[in-house]
Structure 1
Amino acid sequence: MLHLKINDETSTLKAVVLGIAESCGPIPKVEEAYDPKSVEHILAGTYPKEEDMIKEMDAFAAVLEKYNVQVIRPEILKDCNQIFSRDIAFVIEDKIIHANILPHREAEFEAILHVLDRIAPEKNIRPPDEVHIEGGDVMPWNDYIFIGTYTGSDYADYITARTNKEAVEFMAAEFPHKKVKSFELRKSNTNAMENALHLDCCFQPVGRNKAILHKNGFLIEEEYQWLVDFFGKENIFEITKEEMYNMNSNIFSISPEVVVSEQNFTRLNSWLRTQGFTVEEIPYAEIAKQEGLLRCSTLPLIRE
């Protein structure tokens, strides 16, 4: 049996599901894309090639294994993009929550049944249909669960709006002893510079008390300010609009001291090093073209 344990974003990682890039299918048509950044690259003819994404994911797997992390991969589905395992499920405490995702991505969940079968059935939680939630919007942080959401009356008009207010209520009921704090995110179907697809596209804790933030990703300034006050201004690395577009907040912590980051994130990586982190740099710029990066590609199961 797998005994799940996730209470935060940065404790020492023991086991993770890492997405997979094999057989990810042909370049999607514009109308098939889930986000504005993918559309940009489809139209420009720069959409990532499968062999490049496989190399990037292999580099990520190698770093995880270097730190003795058990790396589990999904079963390969033919012509299916399975890179972003964070979208399909997430773990909080000892429960795995099935993300109610875009309906035609349900098969991706079936590709991790070999993992789910090792988890006690009562720890496998499937929210009701009206709860829309994806792992990129959910961040356990000790006593808190931070959730990115969009509750505008035009929610249904945004394919980029992935987590609704019913999800926030569901999580509060499922984890009554936690403080569930939600943040309204800025959404755009057409402009990737103005779209925070998930909470981890504009915010992520690192280490024990630090965070990466992008102010414009938040619709309500007071909610952004709450995070600044919570972590302390001196502990925050504020990223620019362009850095958010390049997914600088979507790095991944192996432990409170070790971070995996993209090799082109020069400003961020040097800040992390000045803060005492070991930064494992890997190439991940091709995968980033699909508006997801390192955190999006992982589904952590056990942290110490």
Structure 2
Amino acid sequence: MLQLNIKNETSKLKAVVLGTAKSNGGVPKVEDCYDPKSVQHVIAGTYPKEEDMILEMDAVEKVLKKYNVKVFRPKVIENYNQIFSRDIAFVIDDTFVKANILPDRDQEIEAISHVISQINPENIIKLPEECHVEGGDVMPWNDYIFVGTYSGEDYSNHITARTNIDAVIALQELFPNKTLKSFELRKNNTDPKENALHLDCCFQPIGKDKAILHKNGFLVEKEYEWLVNFFGKENIFEITKEEMYNMNSNIFSISEDVIISEKNFTRLNTWLRENGFIVEEVPYAEIAKQEGLLRCSTMPLIRE
């Protein structure tokens, strides 16, 4: 049995689900895309090729194994995008929460049944139908759970709005001993530079007390300021709009000292090293074209 344990984003990683790019389904039609960035690349003819994405994910698996992490991969579904395993479920403490994601993506959870079958059924929860949530919006941080959301009346018009207020309330009821802090995110169906698809597209805690942040991802300035005060200005790496578009906040922590990052994130990687982090650089620029990066394609199960 898997003894799930996730208290935060950065403790030493023991077991993780890493998505797969195999049999990805080729280039989607514009109307079948879930986010504005994919649309851009479909129209431009620069949508990523399956073989390139497989190589990128293999590079990540190699790094994880170097640090003795147990890596699970989904069963391959023919012609189906299974890269972003973060969206389909998430773990808080010892509880595995199945996300209610876009209905087109239901099969993704079935593809990790070989993992779920190793979890005590009492620790598996599916939120009620009306609770929309994806793992990219949920960040356990010790006594806190940070959640990205969108509560605008036009929620249903935004295919980019993935986590609603019902889910925020349900999560607070599930974890009464945690302080749940929700953040309104900026949503835009057509301009990826004005769209924070998930909370991890504009914010991520790293190490023990630091964070990567992008101000414009937040709709409410005082919620952004709360994070600045919480981590302290001197502990924050503020990314530009261009860096957010390239997913600089979507790196992945193997431990408090070791971070997997994209090799082109020069400014970020330099800052990380200056602040004492070991940075494991991987190529991930092709996968980034689908508005997801390293955190999006990993679902941590056990941290120390």
TM-score range, shorter chain: over 0.9
Q: Which residue of 2 aligns with 1:284?
A: 284
Q: TM-score, normalised by structure 1?
A: 1.00
Report the Cα distance in structure 2 between the residues aligned to 1:134 and 1:7, rounded to whole angstroms. 18
Unaligned runs of 5+ residues in structure 2 are none
Q: Which residue of 1 aligns with 2:207?
A: 207
Counterpart mapping for 1:1-304 below 5 A: 1-304=1-304
* SS across alignment from 2:261: strand
Amino acid at match of 2:31: E
Q: Deviations over 1:121-174 (max 9, x none)?
A: 111100000000000000000000000000000000000000000010000000
Amino acid at match of 2:283: P
Q: How many aligned residue pairs are there? A: 304
Q: Deviations over 1:25-46 (max 9, x none)?
A: 0210000000000000000000
Report the Cα distance in structure 2 between the residues aligned to 1:122 and 1:164, rounded to whole angstroms. 25
* SS across alignment from 2:106: helix
Report the Cα distance in structure 1 between the residues aligned to 2:146 and 2:124, rounded to whole angstroms. 21
Amino acid at match of 1:54: I
Amino acid at match of 1:279: V
Amino acid at match of 1:231: F
Report the Cα distance in structure 2 between the residues aligned to 1:64 and 1:171, rounded to whole angstroms. 29
Report the Cα distance in structure 1 between the residues aligned to 2:269 and 2:16, rounded to whole angstroms. 23
Deviation at 1:301, TM superposition (A): 0.2
Report the Cα distance in structure 2 between the residues aligned to 1:171 and 1:290, rounded to whole angstroms. 28
Q: Deviations over 1:93-118 (max 9, x none)?
A: 00110010000100000000000001
* SS across alignment from 1:41: helix
Report the Cα distance in structure 2 between the residues aligned to 1:18 and 1:60, rounded to whole angstroms. 9
* SS across alignment from 1:177: coil
C-alpha RMSD of matched pairs (Å): 0.3
Report the Cα distance in structure 2 between the residues aligned to 1:118 and 1:156, rounded to whole angstroms. 35
Identical positions, percent: 71
* SS across alignment from 1:296: coil
Report the Cα distance in structure 2 between the residues aligned to 1:168 and 1:101, rounded to whole angstroms. 14
Report the Cα distance in structure 1 between the residues aligned to 2:104 and 2:271, rounded to whole angstroms. 40
Report the Cα distance in structure 2 between the residues aligned to 1:169 and 1:150, rounded to whole angstroms. 13
Unaligned runs of 5+ residues in structure 1 are none
Report the Cα distance in structure 2 between the residues aligned to 1:258 and 1:26, rounded to whole angstroms. 33
Q: Deviations over 1:64-109 (max 9, x none)?
A: 0000000000000000000000000000000110010000100000
Amino acid at match of 1:271: W
Report the Cα distance in structure 2 between the residues aligned to 1:189 and 1:129, rounded to whole angstroms. 24
Amino acid at match of 2:194: E
Report the Cα distance in structure 2 between the residues aligned to 1:15 and 1:280, rounded to whole angstroms. 18
Amino acid at match of 1:186: R
Report the Cα distance in structure 2 between the residues aligned to 1:191 and 1:103, rounded to whole angstroms. 23
